[in-house]
A and B are shown apart, each in its own frame.
Chain A
């Protein structure tokens, strides 16, 4: 999925127009761009920087500080797996290892050849329903390998 230059410019212009006026609005602007495009393209940096009277490096510094902000288009499907303690106490680490095997992902690989990515997250606040994961902003708890695999592959009637 490629995003054209004009789509990128449009998203940036809209984000700056809608969110750029509030005090300290850089994060809301970056979120709006990423919500629209899935990432923050490098060619948006100049207009963001000039809007806020910052240097390009300043903006880059903010983007790179936060785990959420991506500088490249995301994988087709990104499964965010919680690695925090409560999920570990319910076997989260073993579950992730098994899922990686099923998806054909090595320990240091993030995206498999079908465009399914696993991303580490630290706590979704579903600690009493561990282990938990998030897919497209939807939270899933009490996960087992079957459900998790189905989620990752975008299969199956979930949670029914």
Chain B
């Protein structure tokens, strides 16, 4: 009888709800029963309400059970789950779960499926095919494929990736760099983390292709310190990839070199801003730089540098493997391809949903998310992280693409959606937006450094009912100044959640004042 493979995610989100205890219990039960099993710590499938999600592979098909607690494990063995036996936690075949089946997973095709650190597993699931294709192409053709696919920066700014690469390729420099921005600090976002933990070899492949395209031989992955699991996974994957010969001095026998180093952030949100990030890698305070010069011209150590988000780089391999046209056929308008959306907060079924751009916010929250976790009415959703707008239910018909969100004074950002029920106090959320900006401001420009502190004070005055009309007018003025005069997106966009709360939920501010009076 062949050894049965059991999958228990090693993803940080799954670990947070007890995956390690489940894995330990499974190993103990199997030992006690004298059953040989192979335990794989895969990435998460992204159905977090079902984590820890245990899968058993029977005759080549995977059967899911979840959410499993350590104390359920003995019962699962009793129910013969090693042969896909019935149990109250049984969910059926993983592939048949509607939540997964209805997604369009291109970037996340392997996350949760493979053993994250197995090169053979990676290659057996179409890994490395993008890199092989790229090695056979001229750099200009790689860039053309990325440009033609319509891929735009997934970190939030949505700048066309191909154009950025072309700029770096054409810039003169003795040593060019590929920098991966893995400083995923926005609340409600976790796709970068999931990808680095669940398919780290993919990010390596994407960065290597970027290096080939622009002529860079050195790359850095800058990972925030709040992601220790992702950091460990990336470091281990770099070792595996180097040992396997697809990273290092001679990539797959091509005599072309690319080496990668992981750098850990140190708890500064601002280091997700690309120029702050570069300063931080250089060993300095993470203060932003004036632009121009663009990092593409003068980036890391003054050299031409590609700075891309994890998802952007991790999407490149599928474009090279299957062609620009294949990828570009997904999406709508100028938002081409797929976006790994992240649904979180007060929602029944939170997790990762990779879909072509264009489904609506409401579909995401209700059809995928099943509404609020509390069972109360959904009052608002913040999209795009702490600098993103709060949208009211009247705007839940907004299609999830860059332009539709911009038209509603909102932004899609990195694709994170945080759901709130009707107990939320929007004046408090507006105050938090300013408070967060004050805590995380790098201090370089006055509108952000001082404006955020003053913004919080003003909202506190309003909440306390002090000179509400006058303070509201001043707050609008202040937001205007911050938006127009801040050097980067932190000060320049922190007013968006505030202004959207004021516009869509004005009663919360007045009520706060009345209650206090």
Contact = CB atoms under 8 A, between A and B. Distances in A.
Interface of A: 22-28, 30-31, 52, 61-62, 65-69, 84-90, 121-130, 132, 134, 137-142, 159-160
Nearest to A128: B350
Contacts, number: 162
A89 B346 contact: yes
Contacts of A69: 266
Interface of B: 12-13, 15-18, 20-21, 48-49, 51, 69-71, 184-190, 192-194, 225-229, 261, 263-269, 280-287, 301, 342-347, 350-351, 373, 382, 386, 416, 418-421, 424, 429, 432, 436, 439-440, 442
Given A52-B283, A127-B187, A160-B71, A86 B345 contact: yes
Given A65-B442, A85-B418, A138-B15, 17 more contacts: A24-B284, A27-B283, A66-B268, A85-B382, A86-B345, A88-B429, A122-B187, A123-B189, A124-B16, A125-B189, A125-B192, A125-B193, A128-B49, A129-B350, A134-B226, A159-B17, A159-B18
B186 A123 contact: yes
Among the interface residues A26, A87, A137, A159, which one has the most CB atoms of the partner chain B within 10 A? A159
Given A28-B264, A140-B16, A124 B226 contact: yes
Given A126-B13, A142-B17, A89 B284 contact: no
Given A67-B268, A127-B418, A84 B189 contact: no
Contact of A62 (B21, B48, B284, B436): B284
Contact of A128 (B13, B229, B280): B13
B266 A127 contact: no
Contacts of A130: 344-345
A30 B264 CA distance: 11
A62 B193 CA distance: 26
Contact of B226 (A22, A25, A86, A123): A123
A65 B285 contact: yes
Contacts of A126: 12-13, 16, 190
A127 B186 CA distance: 10
A134 B225 CA distance: 12
Contacts of A122: 185, 187, 226, 269, 436, 439-440
Nearest to A59: B283
B423 to A, nearest CB: 8
B317 to A, nearest CB: 23
A137 B12 CA distance: 11
A89 B227 contact: no
Contacts of B192: 125
Nearest to A133: B16
Contacts of A121: 226, 267
30 contacts: A27-B264, A27-B265, A31-B225, A31-B264, A31-B266, A66-B266, A66-B267, A85-B386, A86-B187, A87-B187, A89-B345, A89-B418, A90-B373, A122-B187, A122-B440, A123-B185, A124-B226, A125-B184, A127-B187, A128-B13, A128-B48, A129-B17, A129-B350, A130-B345, A134-B226, A139-B13, A141-B13, A141-B16, A159-B17, A160-B18
Residue of B188, B268, B343 contacting most chain A CB atoms (<10 Å): B188
Contacts of A132: 16
A47 to B, nearest CB: 15
A132 B396 CA distance: 27
Nearest to A123: B187
Contacts of B12: 124-126, 139
Contacts of B229: 139
A144 to B, nearest CB: 12
Contacts of A84: 187-188, 386, 436
A86 B283 contact: no
B221 to A, nearest CB: 13
A54 to B, nearest CB: 9
A160 B70 contact: yes
A158 B151 CA distance: 43
Nearest to B175: A23
Contacts of B420: 89
Contacts of B282: 23-24
B70 A159 contact: yes
Contacts of A159: 17-18, 20-21, 70
Contacts of B269: 122
Given A123-B187, A128-B190, A160-B69, A90 B266 contact: no
Contact of B343 (A23, A27, A62, A128): A128
B432 A85 contact: yes
Contacts of A137: 228
B11 to A, nearest CB: 10
A123 to B, nearest CB: 5
Contacts of B344: 86, 127-128, 130
B51 A25 contact: no
Contacts of A142: 16-17
A86 B263 CA distance: 27
Given A123-B187, A129-B48, A86 B418 contact: yes
A22 B286 CA distance: 18
B70 A68 contact: no
Contacts of B343: 128
Contacts of B185: 122-123
